[in-house]
Structure 1
Amino acid sequence: MSGGGRMRRRAFLGVLGGVGAGVAGLAVAGRAEHSGQLLASELPLPKPFTVPLPVPAVARPVSPGRYEVTQRPARVEIVPGTTTEVWGYGGTFPGPTFELRRGSPATITVRNELPVPTSTHLHGGVTPPDSDGYPTDLVVPAGYTGHDHAHGGTHHPVVKDYRYPVEQRAATLWYHDHRMDFTAPQVWRGLAGFALVRDEEEDALPLPGGERELPLMICDRAFGADGSFRYPAAHDPDYMEGVEGDVILVNGAPWPVAEVSATRHRLRLLNASNARRYRLRLAPGGRFTQIGGDAGLLAAPVVHDEITIAPGERFDVVVDFSAYPIGSAVTLVNALAEGSAGNVMRFVVARGAPDDSAVPSALSRPPSRPSPVATRRFDFRRSETAWTINGRPYSPGVPLARPRLGTAEVWRFSSDFHHPVHVHLAHFLVLARGGRAPSATDAGWKDTVDVRPYEVVDVLARFDGYRGRYMLHCHNLEHEDMAMMADFDVI
């Protein structure tokens, strides 16, 4: 292909040589990596580490086990000195955090006051198919006359109840829009938030909590000269490989700063970017103690000097800020980027404090590893006109697999580019990368796995919970919108 529709060699190869950007007065060694095409902001970038870290409000139930939230436009200050229209759950970006508890079912009533249809997916949730956020199961605003009916599906006028049994282990989940063909621009505008599941097993651990537990939604955006979110026209072939912005937001704030005590803090890391991957490090040095992944606590903690996190993935980590002198500035950096995207946020160790938290050597008893009953292959690859799975662009209602409820299968993912593969309903263990042992950051039960260019990743997927129609897809949201999705039926 030629012109704008050509996949750029630079982005396709995914890696560029270069010298890391200076961060916190230090040179961070690294290589710039692009898993999308950069979209630059049109306004001067704000100065890093000047905006306080916001923490999303916790949603309050309107009655036991029942919540109501309205998707609506709102104007908020993201870049200091200007305002941005967001599309938010509750009119905020991120949306409110839903605190859920294992064994306590929840119903969330979503009202759509946006100008477009939506479909809310609880990412990582074990949910019935009618509450999973299937891309053609839409909540349609009043008076909407668009063409979404061309895909068929179900249309709910203005309001839909999403019912979540919450029969799953404590974990960091998140929710976001999942509308057919338009997930990327609608999440870009703000339709995302945290959902935290807790349980008695986690309660029994002496982990940091309260204000020392921070959910951190990391994403990138680009801004127009008037402060609006900048995004390409729908399905722009120049951005077929994905959209990367030049402003890094954490909980909706650009390169924020958080004052912390010299104690352990629990950081729930979420990559909510459309396409950008991050290799997170602490400068001027430090370590992450990973206690959980996508689908819950690990059996035992794993220590990392750095964490590579792809779109959709979560890492539950503890950082001990007592390792730094009072007054220290500790910067969370991204070693995969240069320039503005090389910084994420900063912690300032402002004061000493007592700390009775700890990270035990044994964290949990995860589900046992089942024996697989089948092996299937899913090849994620670009065709001349679309991103495909097994050579097919997405066709709603046409399943590529029919696993049986209560069984496990080996699913082999292969790729031609950076494809973070997400499986709805089924949690999985990473078995191998390229026939070798998985990475240390692949530990635990997951729902999203980072499949790199020309890599083969084997996972053991467990199909528990419900029968019905679910999906797997690339969580590069532009790839998803350009047909890199597939259905599977749990029978």
Structure 2
Amino acid sequence: MNRRRFLGIGASVLGAGALAAVAVPSAAYLFAEGLPGRLLGSDLELPAAFQVPLPVPAVLRPVRSDGGNDYYEITQQVAMLEILPGVRTEAWTYGGTFPGPTLVTRSGRAAVVKHRNQLPVPSVVHLHGGHTPADSDGYPVDLLLPVGSPDPAASAASAGAAGSAGAAGAAGSAAPAMDGMAGMPGMPGMRHMSGRTVVGERTHTYPGKQRAATLWYHDHRMGFTGPGVWRGLAGFHLVQDDEEAALPLPRGDRDLPLMITDRSFAADGSFKYPAADASAATPGVTNGYMNGVLGDVILVNGAPWPRLDVDRAHYRLRLLNASNSRLYRLELDPQPAGGDALVQIGSDGGLLAAPVGHDGIEIAPAERFDVVVDFSRYQPGTQVRLVNRFGSGRAAEVMRFDVSSRAVNDDAKVPDQLSTVEQLDPAAAVATRDFAFRRSGSDGWTVNGDPYEPGRSLAAPALGRVERWRFSTDVHHPVHVHLDPFQVVARNGKDPGPWDEGWKDTVDLRPAETVEVLVRFTDYAGTYMLHCHNLEHEDMAMMADFTVG
């Protein structure tokens, strides 16, 4: 897909809420499979599949604890890692590994996480799926500058003093705003804000007022989330609670977080990424990749096409799509007799009310699906591949499970009832709001026709009130909402889809589609975000603020 054909989509985009009623032939023609992105080929020979054992990210232990809090420390640092066998790759990491260390926290206890930035660039940390106060949420201009950077407050004060002197004391003069990031003038409509910028270290407080769920943390810097995550800034954060602990679900080594990503590599082993500006001063990607970057190497927990020896027993797989823009349809091959190979027990926001069986799962960037696989349904010695039906060539393979022949004890099972899940009442909605995600002429990727401008809110929902939000699209957009999860109630005016069950914080929208969700924000007032989680779309201004009060 070239730039001219892509920009032609803008002429076919319809008003919010009306997409379901009108045909969009150009979108249907250009996006017949509804899959975004363009493949970026690696410049070195790729390894054979299923040779590398599956790594499991280490669990980060608290440095101390008190009555209601657990304290953690993470250093963001450059590390040389062996991702491809025999090849060294420079990565930006949390704690020196990719993925970063896994935080395992308890509902009702606060996790206090101090990040120290020893990277060569600013960073922002967002706990994706976290029910988090605004000052710890990872607003994209709340920059954590590298250790040793000039103090932005002192620089602003100095600039303000100089400006005042130059104006000879003119009444009403103000100190110039801190840009917070070089290169933002290249993003149309962007207004500069200093945010809550600090140098060296920042502490995030996650109160833990939420259900057990599979969360993840990642870089969220305005204009540079794509390259930051691509280079390695992502990790798991698992919340546990008493309700989930009482269930006979797989535990220990049979409870596996699986971060699925795609990457490309340059000839020297470095991560290859089509940044618009090689100096990384201006955000975005080159024109050919504006609809997303697809890598040709599939990594699971940072390893290329790994394999895992499994017992003939139940396993819990916490599936996370941490790719920049790639969608996957995940299936087991061969399928077990009787189907329903993947029994879904949880979504972004935690346990479902009851399990749902799937032969395959479509998972968009940032979505999580907790599934249970019973490998006793396979004969000993079976090699079971996890495949991607949306991929071709090497991207069609993800990993392999090798079923053991040894006898094991397995008392895990999936109960018919998992949780009591509150259902939001559509009749209780006090407002309906429309958010159109689309390409808008020369403005790039937009929400409701405008590129992102920090501090300009598109909505002001009240704490505790239910609202109906309608997301509409031109092409494929996975939409993420911060602060609280939501419930999908309709797709194109019909029932939700097969992967919309439970509490979600990211919903996958296909081309020319409208999805309606019910939201209710609780506990924390402040400014939060909704945005596309195709990271190239996000970096090129497909974000918006909303302010809860």
TM-score normalised per structure 1: 0.94
Q: Aligned pair 1:137/2:142, yes or no?
A: yes
Bigger strand share: 1
Distance 1:106 1:114 in 2: 23
Q: Contact 2:7/2:439 (CA < 8 Å) preserved in 1?
A: no
Match of 1:7 in 2: 6
Distance 1:43 1:12 in 2: 35
Q: Give matches, 1:139-288, under 5 Å.
A: 139-144=144-149, 148=181, 150-234=192-276, 235=284, 236-286=286-336, 287-288=341-342
Q: Relative to structure 1, is the Cα distance of residues 8 and 484 closer, same or farther in structure 2, using a 3 angstrom cutoff?
A: closer
Distance 1:230 1:4 in 2: 21
Amino acid at match of 2:298: I
Shift of 1:106: 1.0
Distance 1:264 1:280 in 2: 18
- Which residue of 512, 537, 543 maps to 1:485? 543
Distance 2:146 2:29 in 1: 39
Q: Aligned pair 1:327/2:381, yes or no?
A: yes
Shift of 1:12: 6.5
Match of 1:409 in 2: 467
Distance 2:216 2:365 in 1: 12
Amino acid at match of 1:148: M
- Which residue of 361, 376, 381 maps to 2:438? 381
Distance 2:375 2:324 in 1: 30
Cα deviation 1:194-241 (Å, max 9, x = unaligned): 000000000100000000000000010000111110001232222110
Match of 1:113 in 2: 118
Shift of 1:279: 0.3
Q: Give matches, 1:422-437, under 5 Å.
A: 422-437=480-495
Distance 2:47 2:523 in 1: 46
Distance 1:230 1:5 in 2: 25
Match of 1:24 in 2: none
SS at match of 1:184: helix
Cα deviation 1:365-423 (Å, max 9, x = unaligned): 12342421111000000012310000010000000000000011110000011100000
Match of 2:454 in 1: 396
SS at match of 2:519: strand
Amino acid at match of 1:303: G
Q: Relative to structure 1, is the Cα distance of residues 14 and 461 closer, same or farther in structure 2, using a 3 angstrom cutoff?
A: farther
Match of 2:344 in 1: 290
Match of 2:83 in 1: 78
Match of 1:353 in 2: 408
SS at match of 1:441: coil
Amino acid at match of 1:122: L
Cα deviation 1:234-255 (Å, max 9, x = unaligned): 3222211010000000000000
SS at match of 2:394: helix
SS at match of 2:6: coil
TM-score normalised per structure 2: 0.84
Q: Contact 1:14/1:417 (CA < 8 Å) preserved in 2?
A: no
Q: Aligned pair 1:456/2:514, yes or no?
A: yes
Shift of 1:6: 5.4
Cα deviation 1:321-371 (Å, max 9, x = unaligned): 000011110000000111010001000002331110110000011234242
Distance 1:8 1:62 in 2: 51
Shift of 1:15: 7.7
Cα deviation 1:449-486 (Å, max 9, x = unaligned): 00110000000111112100000000000000000000
Q: Contact 2:180/2:197 (CA < 8 Å) preserved in 1?
A: no
Match of 1:336 in 2: 390
- Which residue of 104, 107, 115 maps to 2:109? 104
Q: Contact 2:260/2:298 (CA < 8 Å) preserved in 1?
A: yes
Distance 1:253 1:307 in 2: 22
Amino acid at match of 1:43: L
Shift of 1:426: 2.2
Q: Relative to structure 1, is the Cα distance of residues 333 and 8 closer, same or farther in structure 2, using a 3 angstrom cutoff?
A: farther
Amino acid at match of 2:58: A
Q: CA RMSD in A?
A: 1.8
Greater CA drift, 230-239 or 205-214? 230-239
SS at match of 1:340: helix
Distance 2:44 2:227 in 1: 20
Bigger helix share: 2
Q: Give unpaired runs (5+ residues) of structure 1.
A: 18-31
Q: Relative to structure 1, is the Cα distance of residues 8 and 397 closer, same or farther in structure 2, using a 3 angstrom cutoff?
A: closer
SS at match of 1:110: strand
Q: Contact 1:373/1:409 (CA < 8 Å) preserved in 2?
A: yes
Amino acid at match of 1:280: L
Q: Relative to structure 1, is the Cα distance of residues 196 and 427 closer, same or farther in structure 2, using a 3 angstrom cutoff?
A: same
SS at match of 1:281: strand
Q: Contact 2:35/2:476 (CA < 8 Å) preserved in 1?
A: no
Aligned residues: 476
SS at match of 2:380: coil
Distance 1:459 1:418 in 2: 17
Q: Give unpaired runs (5+ residues) of structure 2.
A: 10-25, 151-178, 183-191, 277-283
Q: Aligned pair 1:56/2:98, yes or no?
A: no
Shift of 1:144: 4.0
Distance 2:304 2:462 in 1: 45
Cα deviation 1:305-329 (Å, max 9, x = unaligned): 1100000100000000000011110
Shift of 1:119: 0.5
Match of 2:16 in 1: none
Q: Contact 2:40/2:294 (CA < 8 Å) preserved in 1?
A: yes
Shift of 1:159: 0.2
Structure 1 consecutive aligned stretches of length 4 or more whose deviation exceeds 6 Å: 8-12, 14-17
- Which residue of 96, 121, 125 maps to 1:91? 96
Percent of pairs with identical residues: 59
Amino acid at match of 1:72: Q
Amino acid at match of 1:7: F
Shift of 1:155: 1.1
Distance 2:274 2:542 in 1: 19
Greater CA drift, 358-367 or 49-58? 358-367
Q: Relative to structure 1, is the Cα distance of residues 219 and 13 closer, same or farther in structure 2, using a 3 angstrom cutoff?
A: farther
SS at match of 1:137: coil
Amino acid at match of 1:48: A
